[in-house]
Structure 1
Amino acid sequence: MQRICVIGGSRYFGKLLVQRLRTAGHQVTVINRGSGRPPAGVEHLVVDRDDEAALLAALGPRTFDVVVDQVCYMPVQAAIAARVFAGRTRRYVMTSTIEVYDPATTALPPVPADTPVPEETVDPAAWPVDLELPWHDGAYLEAHYAEGKRQAEAVLARAGGFTFASVRSAHVLGGGTREFTGRLAHYTRRATTGEPVTVHARPLPTVFIHWAELAELLRWAATEADFAGPLNACSDGPLDVHALTAAIAAQTGREPRHQPATATTPASPFSFDRHYAMSNARAKELGFAFSHTADWLPDAVTEALAEAAVPTA
C-alpha cells in the first residue's frame, strides 16, 4: 500500500484514476476546491491549490509516497507545488499534454513529418520559465495553454526534493458524457445531421488515447514505474481527420461531408496542418503496453452517438 495524493481527480480520467488507486488498496487523498467528492474511503481536502498558505495548513503533517497532479496549468502553480511538496513526497507525477509539441505555439527542433515526436523535443530541464507573465489572467492562460504546461513541467523538473515525471497525454476520447471537451461529439453531431466537417486541405495525423487507458497509465506511473522526466502517452495507430470521420461514418451509415477551412471558418478539432504526433516508444520500453486506437474507437463513437440519442446504423 502506498500513500498517494491526487490534486484534482474530480472528473473524467482523474476520477477514474482515484477509483483505481483505491481499488488497488492504496491510501488516497484528493485535493480540490470541492468541485466533486471522491469515492468512499478516500480522504478529501477542500482547498485552493493556488493559495499556498491554505494548502500548507490543509496538508498539516501529511506526507505521501506519490503526488499525482491533474490540474497544473501554469508555472506559478508548479512553483507553489514545488515548495509545498518538497520533502513531503518522494515522487511527483504531473499530467501534461501533447500540445507541448505543437509547433504553432513555439519554436521547436524540426521533426520529419513521418517521424513520431520523441520526448526530448521538449526538454523541461532546459525550458525557459517566466513567472512574471499574466498567468492568472484566464484569457491569457487559455491562449497560452501549451506554454503554460511547458513551463509548469520546467519548474517541477528543476525543483528538487522529489523525483519528477510528466505524462504527456494524447487527445483523450471515450467515456460518453465524461468526455467533457466535446470534441468527439462535434463530429458525431455533424455525422448524424449531415453538417459538413471543416478540414485543412492536407490534414496531418495525430494520436489519441482512451480515457480508461490514460487512467491506467497514470496509475502505473504513480505506483509501479520509477522513470523520471517526460513520457508520451498515446495508443498505437495515428489518425488524420478523414480516418476519424470514416470511423464515425461506419456506424452512422452516412458518408461524411467535408468543407475546406478558411481564414473565417477554422478547422474542426483534430484537423491539423502541422505535425506533432507523438512517439510512445519510451513508455513501451519501460513496460507499459498500449492498445491500438482501432481497438476502442468504435466503442467511443457508440458512446458519443448514444449520448446524442441517435441510433447507430
Structure 2
Amino acid sequence: MNVLVLGGSRFIGKHIVDRLLHEGHAVTVLNRGNHSYTSSNVEQLIGDRDGDLDALKNRTWDAAIDVSGYIPRTVDKASARLAHVVAHYTYISSISVYEDFSKVGLTEEDATKQLSEDKITELTKGTAGPIYGPHYGGLKAAGEIVATRNMPGRTLIIRSGLVVGPIDYSDRLPYWLLRIKQGGDVIAPGNPKQQVQFIDVRDLARWTVSSVEQHVTGVYNVTGPSHVMTMEDVLKACNRVCNNNANIVWIDDEFLIDKDVLPWEELPFWLPSSLSGAASVNKVKAINKGLSFSPLNKTIQDTHDWLSTVENMTLSNLKAGMSKERELEVISAWNAK
C-alpha cells in the first residue's frame, strides 16, 4: 500500500511509520518539518495542516493515518482534502472522548463529550492544538464527527488509551522508572489493587497498520492489557527492572487528596475512584479484530533501556511526576500521622 501519515515523526506516529515500513508499505509523512523523519525510505512533505496543504496537490494514496489531528478544524481540512484521493482514513482519537468516567467498562457505544460550535471556536482560536486539559476529549470527539462525515463508510476511529513505550515524551512511565531507579522511599498512590490500563505503542502501531491493511472501519477502543493489571503490578515490574532499588510506600487516596497531590500529573496512572472508568475501558471489540498485547515486563524493560540512551534524562527534566522535595514532604506527613 501507499500510505500517507499526518504527523509521523514523534512517538505514536513514528512507531506507526516504522510498522508500515516493516510491513513493506510505501510511506509519505506530512508535517511542519519541526521533527524530520530521518529514514531515506520515507517521503516527507512539508505543510501546515491548519493552513497550507498544497503539498497534497495531485497526489493519491491508498490510505491516510491521522496521528496529529487535535482539533476538529484541522481534521476537517485534511479529511475533506483527502476524501477523493484516499480510500481509507484512520483517525487516532482517545478514550478521553467519553462523557462519564465513573462508569466501569465503557464501550464504543457510550456517550461522548459534546462541545458547541461556539465553544470549539473559542477554544481553538489561533491554535491547531494540542489543547490538553478538560476539553481535550471534547475536541477529539468533534474530530471524530468531522472525519466520519467527510469519509462516510471509509473511516476507522481508534480511541486509544494511555500509550507507553520507547520514545514516550509524555514522561509518565519514565517518571516511575527514573524515580524507582533512584531508590529510597517512593510514594505509591492509594490501593495497590487499583486497576491501570495502558498500551505499548508498538502494539497500537501493529494493530493500526493491520486494520488499515484490512480496511477496517468503525470505532474501536484500543488500550490494554487483555487482563486486569494493577498499580502494584506496574510498580513491581519497574522495581524489578531497577534491581529492586526502591521501598514502595502505599499512601491512601484520601490522604494524598488532602495534601493536594495531583492525580495523574504528580503520580502518573493514579486516578481518583470517581474516574475509575478511565482505567477499565472495554476493548473486546478490538481484541476480536486481532489486538494483542506485549508482556508488561517487556514494555517496562524496553522503556528502561531506551531511557538509558537519552542524554540528560533526569527527574527534574520530566513533564510528569512529583519533585523529590514534595515527595519527602508528603511521606513525612504520612509517617507522622
TM bracket, shorter-chain basis: 0.7 to 0.9
In structure 2, the CA distance between the partners of 1:230 and 1:122, relative to structure 1 (3 Å rule), is: farther
TM-score by length of structure 2 reads 0.77
8 Å contact from structure 2 (residues 90, 212) kept in 1: yes
Deviation at 1:219, TM superposition (A): 1.0
The match for 1:46 is 46
In structure 2, the CA distance between the partners of 1:129 and 1:237, relative to structure 1 (3 Å rule), is: farther
Q: Which runs of 4+ in 1 moved over 6 A?
A: none
Deviation at 1:110, TM superposition (A): 6.1
Is 1:98 aligned to 2:87, yes or no? Answer: no
- Structure 2 counterparts to residues 105-124 of structure 1, below 5 A: 106=99, 108=100, 111=103, 113=104, 116-122=105-111
In structure 2, the CA distance between the partners of 1:164 and 1:128, relative to structure 1 (3 Å rule), is: farther
In structure 2, the CA distance between the partners of 1:202 and 1:245, relative to structure 1 (3 Å rule), is: closer
8 Å contact from structure 2 (residues 64, 90) kept in 1: yes
In structure 2, the CA distance between the partners of 1:8 and 1:140, relative to structure 1 (3 Å rule), is: closer
Give aligned-pair identity as a percent. Answer: 22
8 Å contact from structure 2 (residues 199, 224) kept in 1: yes
Q: 2:178 and 2:168 mapped to 1: Cα distance?
A: 14
Deviation at 1:239, TM superposition (A): 2.7
Q: 1:221 and 1:208 mapped to 2: Cα distance?
A: 20
The match for 1:75 is 72
In structure 2, the CA distance between the partners of 1:243 and 1:19, relative to structure 1 (3 Å rule), is: closer
RMSD: 2.8
Counterpart of 1:218 (choices 203, 208, 222) is 208
The match for 2:305 is 303
Q: 1:123 and 1:291 mapped to 2: Cα distance?
A: 26
Query: Greater shift after overlay, 41-50 or 256-265?
Result: 256-265
Deviation at 1:295, TM superposition (A): 5.2
Q: 1:226 and 1:182 mapped to 2: Cα distance?
A: 31
Counterpart of 1:246 (choices 219, 225, 236) is 236
The match for 1:190 is 179
Query: Greater shift after overlay, 298-307 or 232-241?
Result: 298-307
TM-score by length of structure 1 reads 0.82
In structure 2, the CA distance between the partners of 1:271 and 1:72, relative to structure 1 (3 Å rule), is: same
Unmatched 5+ stretches in structure 1: none
| Aligned pairs, number | 292
Deviation at 1:303, TM superposition (A): 2.5
Deviation at 1:45, TM superposition (A): 0.6
Amino acid aligned to 1:207:
Q
Counterpart secondary structure, 2:158: strand
The match for 1:58 is 55
Deviation at 1:244, TM superposition (A): 1.9
Deviation at 1:50, TM superposition (A): 0.8
